[in-house]
Structure 1
Amino acid sequence: MAGTRLTIDQAELDRQNAFMAEQAARDPSGLMPRLGEYLQGSTQKRFKTQTAPDGTPWAPLQKRYARRKRYNKDKVLTLRGYLRSYIHYQVTGGDTVEVGSNQKYAAVHQFGGEIDMPERQATVRYRSVAGKVLFAGKKHKRATERSVTIPVHFVKIPARPFLGLSTDDERRILEILLSWVKDGENT
Protein backbone atom coordinates (compact mmCIF):
# COMPACT_ATOMS: atom_id res chain seq x y z
CA MET A 1 0.00 0.00 0.00
CA ALA A 2 1.36 3.42 -0.98
CA GLY A 3 1.49 6.20 1.58
CA THR A 4 3.37 7.56 4.50
CA ARG A 5 3.70 6.06 7.88
CA LEU A 6 4.73 7.89 11.02
CA THR A 7 5.70 6.00 14.09
CA ILE A 8 6.44 7.80 17.33
CA ASP A 9 7.95 5.79 20.12
CA GLN A 10 7.46 6.59 23.80
CA ALA A 11 10.88 8.23 24.15
CA GLU A 12 10.10 10.72 21.34
CA LEU A 13 6.66 11.39 22.79
CA ASP A 14 8.19 12.09 26.22
CA ARG A 15 10.74 14.45 24.62
CA GLN A 16 7.99 16.36 22.77
CA ASN A 17 5.86 16.60 25.92
CA ALA A 18 8.84 17.93 27.89
CA PHE A 19 9.53 20.51 25.16
CA MET A 20 5.88 21.66 25.20
CA ALA A 21 5.88 21.90 29.00
CA GLU A 22 9.10 23.95 28.85
CA GLN A 23 7.56 26.33 26.28
CA ALA A 24 4.38 26.71 28.32
CA ALA A 25 6.44 27.66 31.37
CA ARG A 26 8.45 30.33 29.51
CA ASP A 27 7.79 33.97 30.23
CA PRO A 28 6.28 35.51 27.04
CA SER A 29 7.10 39.08 28.13
CA GLY A 30 10.11 39.15 25.79
CA LEU A 31 7.87 38.21 22.87
CA MET A 32 5.27 40.95 23.37
CA PRO A 33 7.49 43.95 22.47
CA ARG A 34 8.57 42.18 19.27
CA LEU A 35 4.96 41.61 18.27
CA GLY A 36 4.04 45.18 19.24
CA GLU A 37 6.83 46.70 17.16
CA TYR A 38 5.87 44.62 14.15
CA LEU A 39 2.14 45.46 14.44
CA GLN A 40 2.83 49.16 14.96
CA GLY A 41 4.91 49.26 11.77
CA SER A 42 2.37 47.20 9.83
CA THR A 43 -0.45 49.51 10.88
CA GLN A 44 1.54 52.60 9.91
CA LYS A 45 2.26 51.08 6.47
CA ARG A 46 -1.48 50.98 5.80
CA PHE A 47 -1.39 54.76 5.52
CA LYS A 48 0.91 54.36 2.51
CA THR A 49 -1.11 51.60 0.85
CA GLN A 50 -4.42 53.28 1.79
CA THR A 51 -6.04 49.91 2.52
CA ALA A 52 -7.88 48.24 5.37
CA PRO A 53 -6.43 45.12 7.04
CA ASP A 54 -8.66 42.94 4.83
CA GLY A 55 -7.11 44.53 1.71
CA THR A 56 -10.04 46.70 0.63
CA PRO A 57 -9.13 50.28 -0.31
CA TRP A 58 -10.25 53.06 1.98
CA ALA A 59 -13.19 55.16 0.88
CA PRO A 60 -11.91 58.08 -1.21
CA LEU A 61 -12.07 61.67 0.00
CA GLN A 62 -15.18 63.62 -0.80
CA LYS A 63 -14.52 65.82 -3.82
CA ARG A 64 -15.39 68.99 -1.95
CA TYR A 65 -12.90 68.22 0.82
CA ALA A 66 -10.22 67.02 -1.61
CA ARG A 67 -10.36 70.40 -3.43
CA ARG A 68 -9.73 72.43 -0.29
CA LYS A 69 -7.27 70.08 1.41
CA ARG A 70 -3.90 71.84 1.67
CA TYR A 71 -1.44 69.04 2.38
CA ASN A 72 -1.17 65.44 1.17
CA LYS A 73 -4.02 65.98 -1.25
CA ASP A 74 -3.80 62.43 -2.60
CA LYS A 75 -3.77 60.71 0.82
CA VAL A 76 -6.78 59.59 2.83
CA LEU A 77 -6.49 59.91 6.65
CA THR A 78 -3.35 61.99 6.21
CA LEU A 79 -3.36 65.74 6.45
CA ARG A 80 -0.10 66.21 8.32
CA GLY A 81 0.50 62.61 9.44
CA TYR A 82 -0.54 62.96 13.08
CA LEU A 83 -2.85 59.93 13.18
CA ARG A 84 -0.19 57.67 11.66
CA SER A 85 2.54 58.99 13.95
CA TYR A 86 0.39 58.49 17.08
CA ILE A 87 -0.04 54.75 16.52
CA HIS A 88 1.80 53.00 19.33
CA TYR A 89 1.90 49.65 21.04
CA GLN A 90 1.70 48.98 24.74
CA VAL A 91 2.50 45.76 26.58
CA THR A 92 -0.40 45.57 29.02
CA GLY A 93 0.45 42.24 30.62
CA GLY A 94 2.95 39.44 30.46
CA ASP A 95 1.07 37.92 27.54
CA THR A 96 -0.79 40.89 26.03
CA VAL A 97 0.14 43.69 23.66
CA GLU A 98 -2.23 46.39 22.40
CA VAL A 99 -1.78 48.51 19.28
CA GLY A 100 -3.78 51.68 18.77
CA SER A 101 -3.94 55.45 18.89
CA ASN A 102 -4.87 57.83 21.69
CA GLN A 103 -6.09 60.52 19.29
CA LYS A 104 -9.71 61.54 19.87
CA TYR A 105 -10.63 61.20 16.20
CA ALA A 106 -9.05 57.75 15.67
CA ALA A 107 -12.23 55.86 16.58
CA VAL A 108 -14.47 57.74 14.15
CA HIS A 109 -12.03 57.03 11.32
CA GLN A 110 -11.75 53.35 12.29
CA PHE A 111 -15.49 52.72 12.66
CA GLY A 112 -17.10 55.61 10.77
CA GLY A 113 -19.90 57.75 12.09
CA GLU A 114 -21.72 61.06 12.00
CA ILE A 115 -20.58 64.23 13.67
CA ASP A 116 -23.29 66.66 14.73
CA MET A 117 -22.31 70.22 13.89
CA PRO A 118 -24.36 72.75 15.88
CA GLU A 119 -25.64 76.02 14.48
CA ARG A 120 -22.98 78.72 14.62
CA GLN A 121 -22.21 82.26 13.58
CA ALA A 122 -19.36 83.00 11.19
CA THR A 123 -17.99 85.91 9.25
CA VAL A 124 -17.36 85.26 5.57
CA ARG A 125 -15.19 87.42 3.36
CA TYR A 126 -15.83 87.63 -0.35
CA ARG A 127 -14.72 89.69 -3.29
CA SER A 128 -15.82 90.22 -6.83
CA VAL A 129 -13.46 89.37 -9.69
CA ALA A 130 -14.62 89.75 -13.29
CA GLY A 131 -18.24 89.55 -12.22
CA LYS A 132 -17.74 86.39 -10.13
CA VAL A 133 -18.09 86.30 -6.36
CA LEU A 134 -15.18 84.49 -4.72
CA PHE A 135 -14.31 83.77 -1.12
CA ALA A 136 -11.50 86.02 0.07
CA GLY A 137 -8.75 85.43 2.56
CA LYS A 138 -7.51 87.88 5.16
CA LYS A 139 -4.80 89.14 2.82
CA HIS A 140 -7.32 90.60 0.35
CA LYS A 141 -7.69 94.26 1.21
CA ARG A 142 -10.92 95.07 -0.61
CA ALA A 143 -13.02 92.15 0.51
CA THR A 144 -16.54 92.49 1.81
CA GLU A 145 -17.41 90.87 5.12
CA ARG A 146 -20.79 89.49 6.07
CA SER A 147 -21.97 87.77 9.22
CA VAL A 148 -23.84 84.55 8.45
CA THR A 149 -25.51 81.76 10.40
CA ILE A 150 -24.40 78.25 9.50
CA PRO A 151 -27.30 75.90 10.26
CA VAL A 152 -27.19 72.60 12.11
CA HIS A 153 -25.74 69.90 9.88
CA PHE A 154 -24.16 66.46 10.04
CA VAL A 155 -20.82 65.34 8.70
CA LYS A 156 -20.80 61.66 7.71
CA ILE A 157 -17.40 60.01 7.95
CA PRO A 158 -17.07 56.59 6.29
CA ALA A 159 -15.28 53.79 8.11
CA ARG A 160 -11.65 53.53 7.04
CA PRO A 161 -10.26 50.73 9.22
CA PHE A 162 -6.54 50.98 9.84
CA LEU A 163 -6.30 48.77 12.95
CA GLY A 164 -6.50 45.00 12.69
CA LEU A 165 -4.65 41.98 11.39
CA SER A 166 -4.18 41.19 7.73
CA THR A 167 -3.35 37.71 6.44
CA ASP A 168 0.26 38.89 6.01
CA ASP A 169 0.23 40.06 9.64
CA GLU A 170 -1.01 36.67 10.81
CA ARG A 171 1.73 34.92 8.80
CA ARG A 172 4.43 37.24 10.16
CA ILE A 173 3.18 36.88 13.75
CA LEU A 174 3.47 33.12 13.37
CA GLU A 175 7.05 33.53 12.07
CA ILE A 176 7.96 35.76 15.03
CA LEU A 177 6.39 33.26 17.43
CA LEU A 178 8.19 30.29 15.86
CA SER A 179 11.48 32.21 15.96
CA TRP A 180 10.92 32.99 19.64
CA VAL A 181 10.16 29.32 20.41
CA LYS A 182 13.13 28.09 18.38
CA ASP A 183 15.76 30.58 19.54
CA GLY A 184 14.69 31.06 23.13
CA GLU A 185 15.14 34.32 25.04
CA ASN A 186 18.15 35.41 22.98
CA THR A 187 16.04 36.92 20.16
Structure 2
Amino acid sequence: MSALAIEIELSGFAQVEQFFARLNPFESETLLEAMARLIRESTRERIIAGGPAPDGSAWKPNRVGRTPILHLSGALARSIDYVVAGTRAVIGSGLVYARIHQEGGVIVPKSASALVFSAGNRLFRVKKVTMPARPYVGLSGEDRAELVQTAVEYLRRLFK
Protein backbone atom coordinates (compact mmCIF):
# COMPACT_ATOMS: atom_id res chain seq x y z
CA MET A 1 0.00 0.00 0.00
CA SER A 2 1.70 3.15 -1.11
CA ALA A 3 -1.00 5.73 -1.68
CA LEU A 4 -2.10 6.31 1.90
CA ALA A 5 -1.58 4.43 5.14
CA ILE A 6 -1.63 4.58 8.91
CA GLU A 7 0.95 2.45 10.70
CA ILE A 8 0.99 0.83 14.13
CA GLU A 9 4.21 -0.53 15.56
CA LEU A 10 4.52 -2.37 18.84
CA SER A 11 7.77 -1.86 20.70
CA GLY A 12 9.13 -2.36 24.19
CA PHE A 13 7.41 -5.70 24.62
CA ALA A 14 10.51 -7.93 24.76
CA GLN A 15 10.30 -8.41 28.54
CA VAL A 16 6.55 -8.85 28.35
CA GLU A 17 6.98 -11.52 25.67
CA GLN A 18 9.57 -13.36 27.79
CA PHE A 19 7.29 -13.25 30.84
CA PHE A 20 4.21 -14.42 28.95
CA ALA A 21 6.15 -17.15 27.14
CA ARG A 22 6.14 -18.98 30.48
CA LEU A 23 2.32 -18.77 30.65
CA ASN A 24 0.85 -18.57 27.17
CA PRO A 25 2.74 -17.38 24.12
CA PHE A 26 2.45 -13.67 23.42
CA GLU A 27 1.86 -13.35 19.70
CA SER A 28 2.23 -9.74 18.60
CA GLU A 29 0.87 -10.55 15.14
CA THR A 30 -2.39 -11.83 16.66
CA LEU A 31 -2.82 -8.62 18.65
CA LEU A 32 -1.85 -6.43 15.68
CA GLU A 33 -4.26 -8.31 13.43
CA ALA A 34 -7.15 -7.52 15.80
CA MET A 35 -6.08 -3.86 16.11
CA ALA A 36 -5.64 -3.43 12.36
CA ARG A 37 -9.06 -4.98 11.72
CA LEU A 38 -10.63 -2.46 14.13
CA ILE A 39 -8.99 0.49 12.37
CA ARG A 40 -9.95 -0.84 8.93
CA GLU A 41 -13.60 -1.20 9.93
CA SER A 42 -13.70 2.18 11.66
CA THR A 43 -12.23 3.82 8.55
CA ARG A 44 -14.69 2.06 6.26
CA GLU A 45 -17.61 3.10 8.48
CA ARG A 46 -16.37 6.71 8.47
CA ILE A 47 -16.30 6.76 4.65
CA ILE A 48 -19.73 5.14 4.31
CA ALA A 49 -21.30 7.48 6.89
CA GLY A 50 -19.85 10.61 5.30
CA GLY A 51 -17.59 11.51 8.19
CA PRO A 52 -16.72 13.03 10.47
CA ALA A 53 -12.93 13.14 10.28
CA PRO A 54 -11.06 11.21 12.99
CA ASP A 55 -10.68 14.46 14.96
CA GLY A 56 -14.46 14.95 14.91
CA SER A 57 -14.53 17.79 12.38
CA ALA A 58 -17.08 17.73 9.56
CA TRP A 59 -15.97 17.27 5.97
CA LYS A 60 -16.55 20.12 3.56
CA PRO A 61 -19.55 19.23 1.33
CA ASN A 62 -19.09 18.91 -2.40
CA ARG A 63 -20.86 21.12 -4.95
CA VAL A 64 -23.35 18.44 -5.86
CA GLY A 65 -24.23 18.03 -2.19
CA ARG A 66 -24.18 14.26 -2.33
CA THR A 67 -23.66 12.45 0.89
CA PRO A 68 -21.80 10.46 1.90
CA ILE A 69 -19.24 12.40 -0.06
CA LEU A 70 -16.44 9.80 -0.32
CA HIS A 71 -18.75 6.85 -0.93
CA LEU A 72 -20.23 7.55 -4.35
CA SER A 73 -19.04 4.27 -5.92
CA GLY A 74 -17.94 2.49 -2.74
CA ALA A 75 -14.47 1.81 -4.16
CA LEU A 76 -12.61 3.85 -1.54
CA ALA A 77 -14.28 2.07 1.38
CA ARG A 78 -13.67 -1.33 -0.23
CA SER A 79 -10.02 -0.45 -0.82
CA ILE A 80 -9.24 0.06 2.88
CA ASP A 81 -7.20 -2.91 4.02
CA TYR A 82 -4.24 -3.83 6.19
CA VAL A 83 -1.04 -5.84 6.24
CA VAL A 84 0.54 -7.23 9.40
CA ALA A 85 4.19 -8.26 9.53
CA GLY A 86 6.14 -8.84 12.72
CA THR A 87 5.52 -5.95 15.09
CA ARG A 88 4.00 -3.65 12.47
CA ALA A 89 0.57 -3.16 10.91
CA VAL A 90 -0.12 -0.85 7.98
CA ILE A 91 -3.71 0.21 7.29
CA GLY A 92 -4.69 2.28 4.28
CA SER A 93 -5.71 2.42 0.64
CA GLY A 94 -3.73 1.74 -2.48
CA LEU A 95 -6.05 3.77 -4.72
CA VAL A 96 -4.29 6.58 -6.58
CA TYR A 97 -6.86 9.15 -5.43
CA ALA A 98 -6.86 8.11 -1.76
CA ARG A 99 -4.23 10.65 -0.70
CA ILE A 100 -5.88 13.69 -2.36
CA HIS A 101 -9.12 12.99 -0.48
CA GLN A 102 -7.24 12.59 2.81
CA GLU A 103 -4.92 15.59 2.52
CA GLY A 104 -6.56 17.81 -0.10
CA GLY A 105 -4.62 19.56 -2.83
CA VAL A 106 -4.75 20.99 -6.31
CA ILE A 107 -5.28 18.82 -9.39
CA VAL A 108 -3.96 20.19 -12.69
CA PRO A 109 -3.89 18.57 -16.13
CA LYS A 110 -0.68 16.72 -16.98
CA SER A 111 -0.78 16.92 -20.77
CA ALA A 112 -3.92 18.85 -21.69
CA SER A 113 -4.94 22.47 -21.43
CA ALA A 114 -7.85 21.71 -19.11
CA LEU A 115 -9.46 19.07 -16.92
CA VAL A 116 -12.80 17.80 -18.22
CA PHE A 117 -15.22 15.97 -15.93
CA SER A 118 -18.90 15.69 -15.16
CA ALA A 119 -20.61 16.24 -11.83
CA GLY A 120 -24.32 16.50 -11.13
CA ASN A 121 -25.24 15.95 -14.81
CA ARG A 122 -23.05 18.92 -15.83
CA LEU A 123 -19.86 18.89 -17.85
CA PHE A 124 -16.99 20.98 -16.51
CA ARG A 125 -13.82 22.19 -18.26
CA VAL A 126 -11.41 23.84 -15.82
CA LYS A 127 -7.70 24.64 -15.53
CA LYS A 128 -7.45 23.19 -12.02
CA VAL A 129 -9.50 21.69 -9.22
CA THR A 130 -8.83 22.39 -5.56
CA MET A 131 -9.81 19.42 -3.42
CA PRO A 132 -10.41 20.14 0.27
CA ALA A 133 -8.95 17.70 2.78
CA ARG A 134 -11.49 15.16 4.01
CA PRO A 135 -9.43 13.04 6.42
CA TYR A 136 -10.83 9.54 6.80
CA VAL A 137 -7.74 7.58 7.86
CA GLY A 138 -6.75 8.22 11.45
CA LEU A 139 -7.71 7.44 15.02
CA SER A 140 -10.66 9.03 16.75
CA GLY A 141 -10.89 9.08 20.55
CA GLU A 142 -13.29 6.14 20.32
CA ASP A 143 -10.83 4.25 18.07
CA ARG A 144 -8.03 4.78 20.60
CA ALA A 145 -10.21 3.51 23.45
CA GLU A 146 -11.15 0.42 21.42
CA LEU A 147 -7.49 -0.29 20.65
CA VAL A 148 -6.57 -0.07 24.34
CA GLN A 149 -9.52 -2.34 25.24
CA THR A 150 -8.45 -4.84 22.57
CA ALA A 151 -4.90 -4.95 23.98
CA VAL A 152 -6.18 -5.32 27.55
CA GLU A 153 -8.53 -8.15 26.57
CA TYR A 154 -5.75 -9.91 24.69
CA LEU A 155 -3.40 -9.68 27.68
CA ARG A 156 -6.14 -10.94 30.02
CA ARG A 157 -6.63 -14.03 27.84
CA LEU A 158 -2.95 -14.85 28.26
CA PHE A 159 -3.53 -15.37 31.98
CA LYS A 160 -6.42 -17.81 31.54
TM normalised by structure 2 equals 0.73
**1:115 and 2:116 matched:** no
CA radius of gyration, larger in: 1
2:35 partner letter: L
Equivalent residue for 2:93, pick from 101, 107, 132 = 101
Note the 1:1-187 alignment, pairs <5 A: 21-23=18-20, 26-47=26-47, 48-62=49-63, 66=64, 73-91=66-84, 93-117=85-109, 118-119=112-113, 153-184=127-158
Distance 2:108 2:75 in 1: 23
2:37 partner letter: E
Counterparts in 2 of 1:170 and 1:120: CA distance versus 1, 3 Å? closer
Whether the 8 Å contact between 1:30 and 1:185 is mirrored in structure 2 is: no
1:23 deviates by 4.1
What are the superposed Cα offsets for residues 90-130 of structure 1, whole Å, 9 maximum, x if unpaired? 10x221111100000000000000000331598xxxxxxxx
Aligned residues: 134
Whether the 8 Å contact between 1:23 and 1:181 is mirrored in structure 2 is: no
Counterparts in 2 of 1:19 and 1:27: CA distance versus 1, 3 Å? closer
- The alignment yields a C-alpha RMSD, in angstroms, of 2.9
Distance 1:90 1:59 in 2: 30
TM normalised by structure 1 equals 0.63
Distance 1:164 1:82 in 2: 19
1:27 deviates by 2.9
Unaligned runs of 5+ in 2: 1-14
SS at match of 1:161: coil
1:89 deviates by 1.1
1:163 deviates by 0.4
Unaligned runs of 5+ in 1: 1-17, 68-72, 123-134, 137-149
